[in-house]
């Protein structure tokens, strides 16, 4: 799954790296958590555009918005068939900019958080779905979920699932509402290989971080600190 992520780059650098205008990212984020608002990238007639939505998809037919807190992830293998995600999968896809994400592993009876990112620190985009929900008090509420897949070997020892990363060359195809569902499935589930690298020679880095990240109250650089001194990072390929 993907339960927390980071977006630590400043807005101008992030917009330049992703080639997206209007990306609303007023401050670096070190611990983006479910039910919080975060930047997303949507399709528009003039090209990819930035926006802000709440993390945790609320289906349009939901009676209780609290349902969104249980819809932070969708399995890429089955999202196109599930009632909560079927229509967003076909018509309302988005990209979620990030430059790292967290997973937890149990060690000695306690859960240890790990930060997973590219060794270069470059940003990347996660596959997302979004939906509209009408609130009697707030009017239209827009929410999103992050798609997941089986973890690559570099991450599997920590957690069996990971978010789906959409490479730069495939971002427009993912956002395009005309892309057929079988093509989307191929994009989400294909194994690593040609075209699946954000940057050649930029391995994934996996390292333990402070348990401070366990609480959504904390969103500061201290979340990235090693738990006990400088732990050596593990490395592999994020698109293997």
Q: Is 103 a catalytic residue?
A: yes
Residue 89 near residue 75 (C-beta atoms within 8 A):
no
Q: Within 33-157, where are the H helices?
A: 86-91, 153-156
Chain-centre distance for alpha carbon 28: 15
Single out the catalytic residue among 12, 63, 94, 103.
103
- The residue with tokens 């555009």 is 49
Residues 6+ apart with CB under 8 A from 174: 93, 95, 127, 166, 184, 187
Q: Is 223 a catalytic residue?
A: no
Task: Give how far Cα 32 sits from Cα of 7, 114, 174, 195, 227, Å.
Answer: 8, 15, 23, 28, 19
Residues involved in catalysis = 2, 103
């Amino acid at each position: 799954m993907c339960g927390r992520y980071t977006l630590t780059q400043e807005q101008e650098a992030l917009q330049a790296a992703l080639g997206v205008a209007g990306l609303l990212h007023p401050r670096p984020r070190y611990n983006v958590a479910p039910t919080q608002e975060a930047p997303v990238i949507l399709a528009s007639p003039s090209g990819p555009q930035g926006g802000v939505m709440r993390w945790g998809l609320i289906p349009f037919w939901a009676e209780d918005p609290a349902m969104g807190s249980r819809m932070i992830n969708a399995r890429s293998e089955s999202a196109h068939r599930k009632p909560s995600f079927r229509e967003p999968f076909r018509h309302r896809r988005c990209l979620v900019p990030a430059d790292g994400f967290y997973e937890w592993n149990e060690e000695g009876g306690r859960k240890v958080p790990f930060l997973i990112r590219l060794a270069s620190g470059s940003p990347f985009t996660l596959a997302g779905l979004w939906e509209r929900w009408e609130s009697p008090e707030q009017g239209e509420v827009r929410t999103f979920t992050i798609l997941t897949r089986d973890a690559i070997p570099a991450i599997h020892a920590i957690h069996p699932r990971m978010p789906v990363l959409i490479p730069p060359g495939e971002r427009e195809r993912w956002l395009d509402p005309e892309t057929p569902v079988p093509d989307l499935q191929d994009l989400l589930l294909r194994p690593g290989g040609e075209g699946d690298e954000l940057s050649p020679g930029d391995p994934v880095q996996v390292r333990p971080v402070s348990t401070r990240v366990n609480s959504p109250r904390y969103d500061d650089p201290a979340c990235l600190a090693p738990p006990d001194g400088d732990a050596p990072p593990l490395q592999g390929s994020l698109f293997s």
